[in-house]
A and B are shown apart, each in its own frame.
Chain A
Amino acid sequence: MKVCKNCTLSDNIFSVRINDEGLCNYCLQSNKSNNNNNIPIEEYVEKEKQLMEAFDKYKHLPYQVLLAYSGGKDSTFTLYKLREKFNVSVLAVTFDNGFLTEQCRQNIHEVTANLGVDSITIKPSFSKLAKVFNLAASKEIYPKKSLERASSICTACIGIVKSTVHREAILRKIPFVCFGWTPGQVHVKAPIMKLDYRMVMANQKQIQEPIVKNLGDEYKKYFIDPEWIEDQKENVPSLAYPLVFSNYNEDEILDTIKSIGWKRPKDTDMNSTNCLLNSYANSIHARDYGYNPYSLEIAGLVREGFLSSEEGLKKLSASGEDSVINYVKNELDKYSKL
């Protein structure tokens, strides 16, 4: 296995090729592509201005933004920024996959109280979710490219989260949906994107189809109905990216969110600050594919100067606690039999 000397990517990842100089194709491409690398501060200011103006058009609504709030550090910082910097009204929607830590639940309680934010939690039956996660762990149901960005289990989980929050935003006529996406996770040219409902459905199809095909029609209820969204197409929200165009500094983020009552859970792995399932999902992914599913995200942060390569490698080499991995496995096995 070869590792890029610049960004930490290994050639175990399907799309990574390392050249004779020890540089990967992502680093070579980043010099000419349109990413956030070396964006001058004026451009960040301009992007934030665009966000502010877009949000301000909807000041009259009860909620301007629906935030998919996992309780982790990035979505907590996104919530902080939405409230303190953009001064928008937010509905925080948490999807409970059954593996949120107790500290995470406490953090959601503290942070939403301190920021004056209304919050709801949506929790599908755990036995249903356990079957989805076990399916994702045992069969290759998603494209290889998706598996470069996240484990199969996390892809299934976040796919259901996306459908859930879109449906909530449409139902409540909330014009913007935010996630805690960081600069390493997505590359978009603008801080706001309005996707046509057909695109939302095309994206959903990839997550939904293998789940319904393998587990049955009763799982359709966790996704958006195609006829309903067509009737509601005027209410499909825009996607807003408040963290993507910013100087992402993990230490500063942690310091900031501590000031609003957030505490780091002690039982999650190094790449998660809210969910125990992550450790199990990563271990399955590393076993099946030979690399950490956070590799591309971490390499993106290293490449863009938000993390040092030493910090990146440390994150990549850290695995979850065996006790947590076994706990998750046992829970999934137990509940997926129901």
Chain B
Amino acid sequence: MKEKVTLEQISESIRNFLFENYLFGYDEKEFSNDSSFLDFGVLDSTGILELIVFIEGEFDIEVSDVEILPENLDSVNSVSRLVYKKIN
């Protein structure tokens, strides 16, 4: 999954991960790709670390400590952009 992956595919994968593991009971329409994880209260500090472990394994990338910032990790779109930037 390292090459030729599109931003849409990345978003889809992250969204699926979140709905399977974090967004219990939410309707897909309630949670847009721009919805803030923190404002929605779906990811706590451990959850953020788990999300990082997931994207590193799924997309074969490494996220450095300086990239662990709310602006990179607070929505499906922001995480997708970070992943897309790193694999391209």
User: Residues of A with Cβ closer than 8 Å to B?
Assistant: 14-15, 25, 32-35, 142-146, 149, 155, 162, 186-189, 193-196, 198-199, 202-203, 205-206
Contact = CB atoms under 8 A, between A and B. Distances in A.
Contacts of A195: 65, 68
17 contacts: A14-B24, A14-B25, A15-B20, A15-B22, A34-B53, A142-B41, A142-B44, A143-B43, A143-B44, A144-B24, A145-B44, A149-B46, A162-B45, A189-B56, A195-B65, A196-B69, A199-B70
B65 A203 contact: no
Given A189-B56, A198-B70, A202-B74, 9 more contacts: A25-B20, A34-B53, A34-B57, A143-B42, A145-B42, A145-B43, A188-B49, A194-B66, A206-B38
A145 B53 contact: no
Contacts of B48: 199, 203
Given A14-B24, A145-B21, A145-B22, A203 B44 contact: yes
Which 3 pairs, one residue from A and one from B, show the smallest C-beta to C-beta distance? A203-B45, A14-B24, A143-B41
Nearest to A200: B45
Contacts of B45: 162, 203
Interface string B53-82: 110110000000110111000100000000
Contacts of A203: 44-45, 48
B50 interface: yes
B58 to A, nearest CB: 9
Contacts of A35: 53
Contact of B21 (A15, A32, A194): A15
B43 to A, nearest CB: 7
Interface in B30-49: 38, 41-49
- Chain B interface mostly: helix
Interface residues of B, number: 27
Interface string B14-25: 000000111011
Contacts of A15: 20-22, 24
A205 B74 CA distance: 13
B44 A187 contact: no
Nearest to A202: B70
Contacts of B65: 193-196
- Residue of B41, B42, B49 most packed against chain A (CB within 10 A): B41
B69 to A, nearest CB: 5
Contacts of A144: 22, 24-25
Given A15-B20, A145-B22, A145-B47, A196 B68 contact: yes
A33 B57 contact: yes
Nearest to B40: A143
Contacts of B25: 14, 144
B68 A199 contact: yes
Nearest to A205: B38
Contacts of B52: 189
Contacts of A142: 41, 44
A187 B54 CA distance: 10
A205 B43 CA distance: 12
B44 A34 contact: no
A194 B42 CA distance: 22
A285 B56 CA distance: 33
A163 B56 CA distance: 28
A142 B41 CA distance: 7
